[in-house]
Amino acid sequence: MTKQMLNPVVDTVGVAAATPDEKQPHAELGLAEDEYSRIREILERRPTQSELAMYSIMWSEHCSYKSSRVHLRQFGQKNPKTPRLLAGIGENAGVVAIDENLAVTFKVESHNHPSYVEPKQGAATGVGGIIRDIIAMGARPIAVMDSLRFGDIDHPDTARVLPGVVDGVGHYGNCVGLPNIGGETYFDPCYQGNPLVNALSVGVMPRERLQSMQASGVGNVVILLGAKTGRDGIGGVSVLASATFSEDDDSDSRPSVQVGDPFEEKLLIECCLELFDTGLVVGVQDLGGAGLTCALSETAAAGDGGMHVDLELVPLRAKGMEPHDILASESQERMLLIVDPANVENVLARAHRWGLLATAIGTVTDTGRLVIDYHGQTVVDVPPASLADEGPVYNRPIAEPNDLALVAVDRAETLPRPTADEDIRRTVLDMAASPNLCDKSWITEQYDSSVFGNTVLATPHDAGVIRLDESTGVGIAISLDGNGRYARLDPYAGAQLALAEAYRNVAVTGATPIAVTDCLNFGSPEDPHVMWQFERAVTGIADGCQQLGIPVTGGNVSFYNQTGREAIHPTPVIGVLGVIDDVARRIPLGLGQTGDTIAVIGTTGEELSGSEWAWATHRHLGGVPPKVDLDHEMKLADLLSRLAANEQIAAAHDLSEGGLAQTLVEAISNSGMGAQILLPEGADPFTYLFSESTGRVLIVIPRGQELAVRSACEQRGLPITPLGVADAKTDGLHLRDHFDIGRAEIEAAWKGRIGAKLGE
Amino acid sequence: MSARIGIVTFPGSLDDRDAARAVRLGGAEPVALWHDDAVLKSVDAVFLPGGFSYGDYLRCGAIARFSEVMGLVRDAADRGMPVLGVCNGFQVLCESHLLPGALVRNAHLRYRNRPARLRVETNRTAWTAAFAPDAEVVLPAKHGEGRYVADEATLDRIEANGQVVFRYLDNPNGAMRDIAGVANEAGNVVGLMPHPEHAVEALTGPSTDGLGIVASVLAHLSEGAAR
């Protein structure tokens, strides 16, 4: 900030009108010359300091989606129409109907840069922020998930970032009382200076409790609920999230990361739900990135168009805060409520019972202006839509990367591969021990998974499954997946592969996929090559969802994930939500019982480019990623939900990174059973074990159901290949005619790797 | 009429709903008690659930100890009412001096969530009466500050008195003498770190052993009524 911004004389609307030529630090605040000119046009004068701060925040990439908006429109255009969709893109989170009574809201969001600067608080407040989005829709948050990406596991900074991030995700979720039901953790040097921390939350509500963010009803009172406002996170969003770390900058000028208080958030959840249930609020909005600035302008813009706020009424926890500080603060655990004057006393009393501060700070007006006074002096007088909805929109230049053709021909299928049985056996174990495939218990054991008593499946299952209603047994399944390597090779296909995997992981539990949320992690939008990746990925998701018949209901874009000129792999992370009529019929991971048949559905081709094998054993990334067949995925999902409903399936597990070998390792380790496997005649053992062809699922068929399952597959044109039997007496994996690997050896390779790498 | 089991909600309690479900599934009637309630609503027993009461600022359970309801619980416990504290509830009972010893940060310094195998060391308490002697149970253990500590003399005394109620078979937190749960001398107040309320349905828990806790207190209460 410049000295001007610290000037103790309040810069009022009157002063601004009288001093049109005063030089303002718009460039330092990240506003381009033409953006600044537009603000002057809108206001017909220069902005006050407070207004300048508000525009700079709301027009930042993070808040305005100015680089992504032209592409994100595809979701609206291509989204399939479904009566389930009760609220979609543009709301705090998408809402989908589950049955005639219940609706579910879910969303994934990034908190990448703060988690690099201050891993624990960055990750914790990421979780806190997404939970408030869920509350703002009227729902009770019921679970969280996390998708994490770090640099090389052997890099010293990973030992700083990873434990902090996991501590933050765990601390916030555990203390606020939400089960963490799944997610993913990957390592790749491209995330070294730009770890990705994507957090998902899901909530449930009676359909009629859906809340609005509108500040409507002239005379209604604007109430700020929750924590006091301090200096934490001022400029956090606009400066921190939209500025690329420069290579030589090591610390000094980085703004502080917000600090979370999950206890306050827990009280906020309970208090807000009580207020919703008693019908005491007209509108509600969470305070997240951009704090009061965002909440006031969005609620005013969505409502009757006007609002008057007396800023000095905002309870502060720091001395000497100026109006623009109060407006920009990102202090956590705050909500904005719009309340009928007749109910104000009741709302304040209920907040008091929960030990929460609640303060009336303004009223809804019909002036069409957001007017903010500070001790009687007007410091802001703007049309709220100009902040919330009418920010700049850029159609940034797009250019195909120069190395595209070179990368495509550098195929992993040409790499030297093991052929002798002993070498293949060694590869199974080495792969199981590799950072991306090894057991992640060191991380997931730091998360509560059972609070609420409704968690039916959680990590290590392919998707989390939560019971919504004890009387009907109806539940949901969610999976969160991404693969930056595939997207680096082909962002369109990579995005669809992530979508297909999340969709399949939900289907593998027996649930029917119904909706999508996405977190799009990319480098700088000012780089035309990054913008090309972004456009391709968004198009891939939009086309994919159209074909699968499930809408994108919301999500988040995180740009500027790059250090210097090096951008991360384009990393779209996709969350798919499914519904299951009776959670008692969910399909678990494992190997069923002795004598059950193990089979693979789908076709195994020679697809090794972008695979975990190519990366883990050759540090190779090139070629064309596996082919996606969404029509096949839909048939597969239909089959699995039918088999689950008919109780004709004992277990199932998706085949993805690491191929069949890894799926067997996980099924054996997690079940305590052994597997006797005979590869199909003529199959090349290496390819069959390590190919990452998609659309494949390992299923375990209870005795007596083999014919029914085979005929269900044939009806749908799905190829099924019996591979062997589950057997409690077999020690680990018996691959007939090739090799055996005992359970102890499998577990020694697969387990305990993360802790060992981190020195624990 | 079924027994009424009060479940206290402090600000920051997290497992209160789950405790109510466990009580219901176990055949008793859950009764909600609020932290600043001035009455115990004629309950027959009290369940202090897990969570982070009052944010667990200062020290786990240290603030909850001074709540209105804990004054009532202390008096009722002195008169013999069965009181159970799970996880944070256990910490509150230790802070309230209703139970000996204290719970400190896990030896490995991390929060850890893992099903714990426990041995029921005594069935001569209000909350373990229905278990077979030396029964083995599996309950989820999930905490950052669950390492049971006490001075040697206290440990020797509670061992001798049969106040060690649950012992870990695979100690997850460095607890002294593998202690997972203890009772007061009279056996009506019991605290344990692992969560019986998260082991009441095969669908959602690692076992249904938690139901034995509710069955125990029901047996204890009906025995008292019969006397």
Please check whether residue A487 is in contact with residue A186, taking contact to mean a CB–CB distance below 8 angstroms: no
Q: How far apart are CA A124 and CA A111, in angstroms?
A: 9
What integer pLDDT is reported at residue B217 of this predicted model? 98
Interacting residues of A574 by C-beta distance below 8 A, sequence separation 6+: A480, A481, A482, A495, A498, A499, A501, A502, A516, A517, A518, A541
Query: How far away is chain A from the Cα of B114, in angstroms, using its nearest Cα?
Result: 7
In chain B, residues 33-92 whose CB comes closer than 8 Å to chain A: 50-52, 54-57
Q: How far apart are CA B126 and CA A46, in angstroms?
A: 74
Could you report the per-residue pLDDT of A671-729, keeping only the tens digit for each? 999 999 999 999 999 999 999 999 999 999 999 999 999 999 999 999 999 999 999 99
Structure tokens at B23: 């009580």
Sign of CA dihedral A187, A188, A189, A190: negative
Q: Could you give the domains of chain A?
A: 1-68+212-391 (3.90.650.10), 79-210+447-567+575-583 (3.30.1330.10), 421-438+587-760 (3.90.650.10)
Tell which wins on pLDDT, A656 or B226: A656
What integer pLDDT is reported at residue A242 of this predicted model? 38
Phi-psi region at A419: left, alpha or beta (left = phi > 0; alpha = psi -120 to 50): alpha
Look at residue A746 and give its three-state secondary structure.
helix
| First and final C-alpha spacing in chain B | 17
Please check whether residue A229 is in contact with residue A321, taking contact to mean a CB–CB distance below 8 angstroms: yes
Please check whether residue A223 is in contact with residue A344, taking contact to mean a CB–CB distance below 8 angstroms: yes
pLDDT band, very low/low/confident/very high, at A513 (cuts 50, 70, 90): very high
- Assess whether pLDDT exceeds 50 at residue A607: yes
Instruction: Find the Cα–Cα–Cα–Cα dihedral A28, A32, A33, A36, rounded to 10°.
Output: -80
Q: How far apart are CA A637 and CA A509, in angstroms?
A: 10
pLDDT band, very low/low/confident/very high, at A505 (cuts 50, 70, 90): very high
- Assess whether pLDDT exceeds 90 at residue A528: yes
What integer pLDDT is reported at residue A469 of this predicted model? 97
Which ipTM was obtained for this model? 0.96
CA distances from A544 to A130, A156, A597 (A): 25, 39, 33
Angle between helices A291-302 and A49-58 (to 10 degrees): 80
Query: Which residues on B lie below 8 Å from A583 (Cβ)?
Result: 203
- Catalogue the E-assigned strands of A510-663: 512-521, 552-558, 562-563, 566-567, 571-580, 597-601, 651-654
Structure tokens at A544: 């994919």
Of these residues, A62, A461, A620, A653, which one is catalytic?
A: A62
Please check whether residue A284 is in contact with residue A337, taking contact to mean a CB–CB distance below 8 angstroms: yes
A111 is catalytic: yes
Please check whether residue B121 is in contact with residue B167, taking contact to mean a CB–CB distance below 8 angstroms: yes
Interacting residues of A136 by C-beta distance below 8 A, sequence separation 6+: A92, A93, A211, A213, A284, A285, A286, A335
Query: How far away is chain A from the Cα of B21, in angstroms, using its nearest Cα?
Result: 8
Please check whether residue A269 is in contact with residue A277, taking contact to mean a CB–CB distance below 8 angstroms: no
- Assess whether pLDDT exceeds 60 at residue A185: yes
Of A170, A177, A470, the CB nearest to B111: A170
Strand B102-104 relative to strand B147-149, pairing: antiparallel
The answer to whether the peptide bond before residue A702 is cis (omega within 30 degrees of 0) is no
Contact B15 A451 (CB under 8 A): yes
Contact A452 B17 (CB under 8 A): yes
Query: How far away is chain B from the Cα of A160, in angstroms, using its nearest Cα?
Result: 15
Q: How far apart are CA A718 and CA A554, in angstroms?
A: 32
The residue of A144, A267, A442, A451 whose CB has the most chain B CBs within 10 angstroms, and thus the best one to mutate to test that interface, is A451
B105 touches chain A (CB under 8 A): no
Of A174, A175, A453, the CB nearest to B21: A453
Q: How far apart are CA A65 and CA A47, in angstroms?
A: 22
Does the global pTM surpass 0.90? yes
Of A175, A456, A760, the CB nearest to B204: A456
The residue of A450, A582, A586 whose CB has the most chain B CBs within 10 angstroms, and thus the best one to mutate to test that interface, is A450
Mean pLDDT throughout A137-158?
97
CA distances from A351 to A23, A221, A356, B15 (A): 44, 15, 5, 21
φ, ψ of residue A588 to 5 degrees: the values are -85, 175
Please check whether residue A446 is in contact with residue B111, taking contact to mean a CB–CB distance below 8 angstroms: yes
Q: How far apart are CA A409 and CA A515, in angstroms?
A: 36
Instruction: Find the Cα–Cα–Cα–Cα dihedral A611, A614, A616, A620, rounded to 10°.
Output: -110
Q: Could you give the domains of chain B?
A: 4-226 (3.40.50.880)
Contact B203 A584 (CB under 8 A): yes
Size of interface A-B (CB pairs under 8 A): 78
What integer pLDDT is reported at residue B226 of this predicted model? 63
Mean pLDDT throughout A322-351?
95
What integer pLDDT is reported at residue A161 of this predicted model? 97
Nearest to residue A172, comparing CAs of A429, A419, A408, A446? A446
Nearest to residue A521, comparing CAs of A133, A118, A116, A156? A116
Structure tokens at B160: 């001798």
Q: How far apart are CA A8 and CA A5, in angstroms?
A: 8
pLDDT band, very low/low/confident/very high, at B56 (cuts 50, 70, 90): confident
Look at residue A387 and give its three-state secondary structure.
helix
Q: What is the mean pLDDT of chain A?
A: 94
- Assess whether pLDDT exceeds 50 at residue A2: no
Nearest to residue A717, comparing CAs of A550, A601, A547, A599? A601
Please check whether residue A255 is in contact with residue A236, taking contact to mean a CB–CB distance below 8 angstroms: yes
What integer pLDDT is reported at residue A289 of this predicted model? 81
What integer pLDDT is reported at residue A235 of this predicted model? 59
Structure tokens at A408: 């495509």
- Assess whether pLDDT exceeds 70 at residue A1: no
Contact B52 A262 (CB under 8 A): yes
pLDDT band, very low/low/confident/very high, at A551 (cuts 50, 70, 90): very high
Of these residues, A71, A111, A308, A324, which one is catalytic?
A: A111
- Assess whether pLDDT exceeds 50 at residue A5: no
φ, ψ of residue B192 to 5 degrees: the values are -150, 150
Q: How far apart are CA A31 and CA B34, in angstroms?
A: 51
Please check whether residue A58 is in contact with residue A291, taking contact to mean a CB–CB distance below 8 angstroms: no
Angle between helices A33-43 and A49-58 (to 10 degrees): 120
The count of other CB atoms within 10 Å of the CB of residue A511 is 31
- Assess whether pLDDT exceeds 80 at residue B1: no
Mean pLDDT throughout B193-205?
98
Q: How far apart are CA A476 and CA A467, in angstroms?
A: 7
Q: What is the mean pLDDT of chain B?
A: 95
Contact B18 A467 (CB under 8 A): no
Nearest to residue A537, comparing CAs of A593, A492, A576? A492
Q: Please name the residue of chain A whose CA is at the shortest distance from the CA of residue B110.
A: A446
Query: How far away is chain A from the Cα of B196, in angstroms, using its nearest Cα?
Result: 11
- Assess whether pLDDT exceeds 70 at residue A252: no
Mean pLDDT throughout A262-287?
96
Query: How far away is chain A from the Cα of B166, in angstroms, using its nearest Cα?
Result: 21
Nearest to residue A429, comparing CAs of A723, A742, A754, A756? A742
pLDDT band, very low/low/confident/very high, at A564 (cuts 50, 70, 90): confident
Please check whether residue A484 is in contact with residue A187, taking contact to mean a CB–CB distance below 8 angstroms: no
Contact A453 B200 (CB under 8 A): yes
Could you report the per-residue pLDDT of B146-156, keeping only the tens digit for each? 999 999 999 99
Nearest to residue B53, comparing CAs of B38, B74, B69, B41? B69
Mean pLDDT throughout B82-91?
98
Q: How far apart are CA A622 and CA A440, in angstroms?
A: 27
Contact A263 B113 (CB under 8 A): no
- Assess whether pLDDT exceeds 50 at residue A15: yes
Structure tokens at A132: 């408030």
In percent, the amount of chain A with pLDDT more than 90 equals 89
CA distances from A178 to A531, A674, B132 (A): 36, 34, 34
What distance separates the 2 farthest-apart alpha carbons in chain B? 47
Could you report the per-residue pLDDT of A422-475, keeping only the tens digit for each? 999 999 999 999 999 999 999 999 999 999 999 999 999 999 999 999 999 999
Q: How far apart are CA B198 and CA A428, in angstroms?
A: 36
Contact A261 B55 (CB under 8 A): yes
B109 touches chain A (CB under 8 A): no
Please check whether residue B98 is in contact with residue B189, taking contact to mean a CB–CB distance below 8 angstroms: yes
pLDDT band, very low/low/confident/very high, at B227 (cuts 50, 70, 90): low
The residue of A120, A171, A175 whose CB has the most chain B CBs within 10 angstroms, and thus the best one to mutate to test that interface, is A175
Q: Please name the residue of chain B whose CA is at the shortest distance from the CA of residue A266.
A: B12
Which H/E stretch holds residue A149?
strand A140-150
Q: Please name the residue of chain A whose CA is at the shortest distance from the CA of residue B139.
A: A450
Look at residue A160 and give its three-state secondary structure.
helix
In which residue are the tokens 């003498």 written? Answer: B177
pLDDT band, very low/low/confident/very high, at A177 (cuts 50, 70, 90): very high
